[in-house]
Amino acid sequence: MASNFKILIHRNSDNVHLKLMGDFDGSSAHQLLHLLSKNSPKASRIFIHTSCVKSIVPFGRSVFRNNLHLLKGKPGHLVFTGERASELAS
């Protein structure tokens, strides 16, 4: 994982907010996928906030996009926000 990457988690009502911070690489993608699989069944929507992402390594983006199908629950309920939302959303 990029040494400066972290994910802040906030829950309200039926929603989960994940604020990504730092550089997004392959390990960061796995960390995000793990949190999504853990929270997906419990949330009606999961917001992934990307405004604090400094850079997205192409390999990290590929790892994330290629493994989204492994999520249990409804991956259609993911909502990407922020300046880098389109780079991560598939």
Domains present along the chain, CATH in parentheses: 6-88 (3.30.750.24)
Using 50, 70 and 90 to split pLDDT, how confident is the model at 31? very high
Name the strand (E) or helix (H) holding 62. helix 58-67
pLDDT of 75 over the 90 cut:
no
pLDDT of residue 66: 93
Q: How many CA atoms lie within 13 A of 56 on its CB side?
A: 19
Query: What number is the average pLDDT over the span 47-58?
Result: 96
Q: Of 5-9, 16-20, 73-77, give the lowest mean pLDDT range.
A: 73-77
For residue 43, which of 69, 10, 20, 67 has the smallest C-alpha distance? Answer: 10
pLDDT of 72 over the 80 cut:
no
pTM of the model: 0.89
